[in-house]
Amino acid sequence: MNIKTTLSISEAQKKFFDIATDVQKPGIHFTFTEKGRPKAVLMSAEEFESWQETMEVMREFPDLYKDIKKTDRAVKTGEYKKWATLDDIMVKYGYIVADKGKTKYGVGNKNRKKSAKRIK
Q: Return mean pLDDT, the chain.
A: 85
Give the pLDDT confidence score for residue 96 in this predicted structure. 86
pTM for the full model? 0.54
Share of the chain above pLDDT 70, in %: 80
Give the pLDDT confidence score for residue 97 in this predicted structure. 83
- Tell me the CATH number for domain 3-46: 3.40.1620.10
* Per-residue pLDDT at 104 exceeds 70: no
Is residue 30 a contact partner of residue 19, using CB atoms and an 8 Å limit? Answer: yes
Give the pLDDT confidence score for residue 3 in this predicted structure. 58
Is residue 103 a contact partner of residue 109, using CB atoms and an 8 Å limit? Answer: yes
Reported as type and span, the H/E element at residue 33 is strand 30-34
Give the pLDDT confidence score for residue 20 in this predicted structure. 94
pLDDT tens, 39-73? Answer: 999 999 999 999 999 999 999 999 999 999 999 99
Pairwise CA distance, residues 79 & 71, whole Å: 9
Residue ranges covered by each domain of the chain = 3-46, 63-106
